[in-house]
């Protein structure tokens, strides 16, 4: 989902891009990663690969750790070997959601589940393997090419009169088309190292996001309030995932509502 957007934007900006989908490269295979990067010899690598099944990770820690932890380290190390910088995508799930003001880059991390733990392990591995690293934490991604909340709501809303969506999880919905542009910009600026918080501007609950999606799409479906406790899941979710930045000149994305509008517009024209 995110990788496709990165490739499209990078090519549009005139970069020579080599894209590797999962079928092309298994990042858990350190040798294969090193071989491909030695062959391509890029100036920068953007790693969008991840094990993102949050609930599945609770019972499949090995797979999640292999991709999100060790695999991320393999990519960063292979990039360093050929003199390339690495832009690595991480997540708001490295935090426990206990704050009630935006999380900044230096806030203490405390993942609630295996997914967050393995993504945090990836951050550590990337930073250790390649000094020229930018680690980008983002949240609530939606876009073309992958399962996401916006598409789920569009499907449900077209067949139901009402849906129940939680009000007690708050975050920053982020359109991949906006985030991808920031990732490419960081790839162009290898001296911008360290951790970056980059997500859709503003914040909302999942319930508010559903309302916005239906309003923008012209779907007549009521959105009822409910709580996380009413929908128990194997993995705990952070209650408050709003990301802010303490950087002097952070990369700022448009408002999350603009991301929803832009994404829906691409679906209309597709």
Specify the pLDDT at position 146: 85
Whether the predicted pLDDT of 1 surpasses 70: yes
Catalytic residue among 51, 93, 115, 263: 115
Whether the predicted pLDDT of 107 surpasses 90: yes
Whether the predicted pLDDT of 63 surpasses 80: yes
Whether the predicted pLDDT of 269 surpasses 60: no
Specify the pLDDT at position 34: 98
Whether the predicted pLDDT of 11 surpasses 70: yes
Once rounded to an integer, what is the mean pLDDT over residues 188-217?
A: 97
240 is catalytic: no
Once rounded to an integer, what is the mean pLDDT over residues 194-218?
A: 98
Specify the pLDDT at position 268: 64
Whether the predicted pLDDT of 270 surpasses 70: no
139 SS3 class: coil
Domains of the chain, start order: 2-147+173-202+242-254 (3.40.50.720)
pLDDT tier, 267 (very low <50, low <70, confident <90, very high otherwise): confident
Q: Is 182 exposed, middle or buried (0-12, 13-18, 19+ CB in 10 A)?
A: buried
Once rounded to an integer, what is the mean pLDDT over residues 210-216?
A: 97
């Amino acid at each position: 989902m995110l990788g496709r957007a990165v490739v499209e934007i990078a090519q549009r900006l005139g970069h020579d891009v080599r894209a590797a989908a999962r079928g092309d490269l298994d990042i858990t295979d350190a040798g294969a990663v090193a071989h491909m990067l030695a062959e391509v010899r890029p100036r920068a690598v953007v790693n969008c690969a991840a094990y993102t099944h949050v609930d599945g990770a609770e019972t499949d820690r090995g797979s999640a750790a292999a991709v999100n932890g060790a695999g991320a380290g393999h990519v960063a190390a292979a990039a360093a070997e050929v003199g390339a910088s690495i832009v690595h995508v991480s997540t708001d799930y490295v935090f426990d959601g206990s704050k009630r003001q935006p999380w900044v880059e230096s806030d203490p991390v405390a993942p609630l589940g295996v997914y967050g733990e393995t993504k945090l392990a990836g951050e550590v591995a990337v930073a250790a393997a390649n000094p020229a690293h930018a680690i980008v934490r983002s949240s609530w991604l939606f876009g073309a090419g992958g399962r996401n909340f916006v598409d789920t709501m569009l499907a449900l809303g077209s067949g139901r009169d009402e849906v129940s969506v939680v009000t007690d999880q708050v975050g920053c919905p982020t359109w991949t088309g906006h985030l991808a542009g920031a990732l490419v910009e960081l790839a162009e600026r290898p001296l911008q190292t360290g951790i970056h918080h980059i997500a859709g501007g503003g914040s909302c609950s999942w319930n508010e996001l559903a309302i916005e999606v239906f309003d923008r799409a012209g779907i007549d479906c009521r959105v009822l309030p409910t709580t996380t406790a009413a929908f128990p899941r194997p993995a705990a979710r952070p209650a408050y995932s709003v990301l802010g930045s303490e950087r002097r000149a952070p990369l700022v994305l448009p408002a999350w509502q603009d991301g929803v509008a832009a994404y829906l517009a691409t679906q209309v024209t597709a």
